[in-house]
Structure 1
């Protein structure tokens, strides 16, 4: 038998190198931070007092309720879901709080309003996880159901409440800091801790990445994903109560743009709509971009229709950048 040479197969390395900090992927990934810096510079140039603590406090107070809604929306989207009903839940809770605070007391009224948010969020969770209806269709339907319900039962009545105890939540301060800002910061802080340092947060990412793989790994998929809708409902209700307290009134027609604004904030921040990816600091960036942009529009007296065009273009560009990053990574 003649001698033969064994040829060793060539070594292959299947490890995908992470993109460098100045690679196109990284630049696109953190592009909204650059946009935020540009907007801050532009706002300061247009309105020299923009960075003064008093003005920043006003901006944060105004956008705090929307930021609270966006935290819940971020959790839902990371888990692979979608929630179009937050605006209706927002309005329902605002109406309940304003209508009942003078009748049964401020604390019981707020408790009922927040409880309504939990129940309505649980209905969304049931539709998505048990009935297996597409999240977009489920929450589109429940949004109409909730809005119609509160308008029907209140006969489209606006309920005003000048009770100082009720208005304190939206206009009062604690240690010199507005309550609404404290609520916003606390909501983000709890969300960050839950997503980054708990098994619950890791499960949310796993479900958004691959629902079937998450199930096979022992994660209670329906329970975890359903809980994101409950949290979203609770936070939307909390935002509604804050806004009703700020305005001293609640009505079923409130919050018409809340869902789309919250989704815009999450998308502008860079959280992927396909699920499995996202960070709450990105949502904070998205909130800041939207708030500063509105502040600039107000300072320049930009027509409201033009504002919608600019916001829509930014959302499309943000989604396009996200898709481009994913294509380059693949």
Structure 2
């Protein structure tokens, strides 16, 4: 009887430790984010100045909006390597039409264009069973080629000054692009957390066959997710074209890596079934804060690229380690 009581007391002692370990594994990215903020404040005294913070999130708006769509795709167990192509093609399209049509109509056309390209990705992945990586890598090249042909490898310049308000304008002291970014975060967060559609994404990512047997329209939902990713890429294309006052076909060549990095660093799993918009916010913030600090230190972009690669690999390794531990 005494031994039994001792074992009970030992279990009580070790149980909190296990819970703390699990909490750290689940929210390690938050801890890392806090550490990075503290380090950034020390290395760059003007880091927490409001103007700098607004500048950081204005820069994040481009990959931030795209990373929202990528989060939806990754949660279902997919991958969208075409976002750079859709982003570039959308920037070219919106810039080519901005001077000749009302801006609202131009933006609607561009968003529908991105949505259509995304749906095409989804159809190739679901109907023809082409692996998402291969399908979207190939389509991204096609979309970039389309943009180059349409623009004849030349930028479309926009003379309409009101167009620049989207990417460079302000509401009071807050950049419009920052407002758009946080609206997108809020809307996406509500969809993922509180809607049946959002919950179905986690179900599909966790077990596609079980989701199909439970009555979910797996192919239709998966296709729509790629459409959402296309919408997000198109919105980012509009923002960058507005900010630069032009649309260029070569702007999306490497951005997909930053988008994936933002999502993965935040803790959304590459294996599907796990993720959250708040995690994507943390991942994107981490990425852009590091760039901000590196720039303030005049660090070579080559070294920045090396550190970014190390961070991405580390995030994926941490994801794999976390899943293996939490599933025990």
Q: Above 0.5 in TM-score?
A: yes
Task: Quote the residue 1:199 is aligned against.
Answer: 196
Give the Cα separation in 2 of the matches to 1:82 and 1:235. Answer: 14
Shift in Å, 1:104: 2.4
State whether structure 2 residue 242 is matched by structure 1 residue 245. yes
Kindly report which structure 2 residues correspond to 1:183-198, keeping only aligned pairs within 5 A, or say none: 183-198=180-195
Q: Secondary structure at the match of 1:102?
A: coil
Task: Quote the residue 1:145 is aligned against.
Answer: 142
Q: Which of 19, 22, 32 is the aligned partner of 2:20?
A: 22
Which region of structure 1 is more displaced relative to structure 2, 319-328 or 78-87? 319-328
1:99–1:160 contact (8 Å) kept in structure 2: yes
Q: Which of 156, 166, 171 is the aligned partner of 2:168?
A: 171
Task: Quote the residue 2:322 is aligned against.
Answer: 325
Give the Cα separation in 2 of the matches to 1:214 and 1:66. Answer: 31
Q: Which of 87, 91, 96 is the aligned partner of 1:99?
A: 96
Q: Which of 283, 288, 293 is the aligned partner of 1:286?
A: 283
Task: Quote the residue 1:36 is aligned against.
Answer: 33
Higher helix share: 2
State whether structure 2 residue 86 is matched by structure 1 residue 125. no
Alignment TM-score, normalising by the size of structure 2: 0.92
Which region of structure 1 is more displaced relative to structure 2, 77-86 or 35-44? 35-44
1:206–1:214 contact (8 Å) kept in structure 2: yes
Moved over 6 A (4+): none
Q: Which of 133, 139, 159 is the aligned partner of 1:136?
A: 133
State whether structure 2 residue 62 is matched by structure 1 residue 65. yes
State whether structure 2 residue 310 is matched by structure 1 residue 313. yes
Task: Quote the residue 1:12 is aligned against.
Answer: none
2:99–2:159 contact (8 Å) kept in structure 1: no
Give the Cα separation in 2 of the matches to 1:248 and 1:311. Answer: 29
Shift in Å, 1:18: 9.7
Give the Cα separation in 1 of the matches to 2:52 and 2:60. Answer: 13
1:82-102 per-residue CA deviation (whole Å, 9 max, x = no partner) reads 000001100011111111111
Q: In structure 1, list runs of 5 or more residues that go unmatched.
A: 1-16
Aligned length: 313
Alignment TM-score, normalising by the size of structure 1: 0.92
Shift in Å, 1:149: 1.1
Give the Cα separation in 2 of the matches to 1:66 and 1:300. Answer: 23
Give the Cα separation in 2 of the matches to 1:176 and 1:306. Answer: 33
Give the Cα separation in 2 of the matches to 1:253 and 1:18. Answer: 53
1:101–1:107 contact (8 Å) kept in structure 2: no
Task: Quote the residue 1:13 is aligned against.
Answer: none
Shift in Å, 1:174: 2.5
Q: In structure 2, list runs of 5 or more residues that go unmatched.
A: 1-14
1:231-287 per-residue CA deviation (whole Å, 9 max, x = no partner) reads 000010001101110111111111222211110111101111010111111111101
Which region of structure 1 is more displaced relative to structure 2, 151-160 or 81-90? 151-160
Backbone CA RMSD of aligned residues: 1.4
1:17-38 per-residue CA deviation (whole Å, 9 max, x = no partner) reads 8984421x43233222222112
Give the Cα separation in 2 of the matches to 1:232 and 1:143. Answer: 13
